Amino acid sequence: MRYKLIAVDIDGTLLDSNSRLQPETIRSVRRGVSNGLIFTLSTGRPVQGIRKLLKELDVKSVSITYNGAMLVTEKEEVLYSCTLRPADAIDIIRLGMERNLSLIFWANNILYANEINDTTIAYSEISGVPPVLFKDYEKLASEGITKVIWIDTPEEIRRQEQEVGKYLSDQVNFHTSRPMFLEFVDKSASKALAMEKLGEIYGIKREEMIAVGDGLNDLSMIQYAGLGVAMANSHPEVLKAADFVTLSNDENGVGYVIDRVTDGIDF
């Protein structure tokens, strides 16, 4: 099978444990692209959070952002966008505030927060976007909220994840992207559905796609792609679901996969 497209998660996958892009990974990506492989980022990050990486990699392709809720070109043209239903967004924000959790959300590529503290600042540093305190979240919900994130200790987030589903509609998907982040998006937003749309854009079958990731938010695309690849440092459920396990994110695991594709080595 000649694979034509590879979708790669960023944190814990493309980047090492110090959130750095290793030089050998850059070389592998550029080599793969020069040989005709379409390389696409697939991340929970917003559009602003991938600009630097695209420049470093010198990649010009469509990216999956907000865990599948938005597809954007390298020129930041939005090809697809999926927002939470207003009632769902309002419920999620209200529930988070009632539980005294720090929360942030994205609307029109602007980062909003219920308070400015160490946790919301930590998230803004990851995304590269300073947060804005919101006043009327119901109005913002009516205009379209892409993603809501609750932030707390890993222990509290695990507890919230176990019970929050019974308070939400079945049109909401939620999962942890990092131990301290519980993310909420519309059910129509997933990395798998975004990959399906990528296939339509590029004229590529799912059997010709590779997905590489490490977290539970990567599970859908790993199960969707013709070749689902888990990093060695992946969540146990991701390791179990994958067709192939590559090296860790500190060992150029992404580059290892791309090099095999470029060199025509089977998996």
Residue 236 in tokens: 């146990």
To the query of whether residue 16 is one of the catalytic residues in this protein, the response is: no
- Give DSSP secondary structure letters for 132-151: EE-S-HHHHHHH-B-EEEEE
CATH number assigned to the domain covering 86-186: 3.30.1240.10
pLDDT at 208: 98
pLDDT at 160: 94
**Distances from the Cα of 157 to the Cα of 11, 60, 87, 162, 173, angstroms:** 19, 36, 23, 9, 15
Residue 123 CB: number of other CB atoms within 10 A? 19
Of 9, 11, 16, 218, catalytic: 9
Residue 125: which H helix or E strand, with range?
helix 118-127
Q: Quote the pTM value.
A: 0.89
* pLDDT in single tens digits along all 267 residues of the chain: 689 999 999 999 999 999 999 999 999 999 999 999 999 999 999 999 899 999 999 999 999 999 999 999 999 999 999 999 999 999 999 999 999 999 999 999 999 999 998 888 888 887 888 899 998 999 999 999 999 999 999 999 999 999 999 999 999 999 887 889 999 999 999 999 999 999 999 999 999 999 999 998 999 999 999 999 999 999 999 999 999 999 999 999 999 999 999 999 999
pLDDT at 114: 92
DSSP 206: G
pLDDT at 123: 84
pLDDT at 135: 86
DSSP 70: E
Domain 5-81+189-262 in CATH 3.40.50.1000? The answer is: yes
Query: Where are the CATH 3.30.1240.10 domain residues in the chain?
Result: 86-186
pLDDT at 89: 97
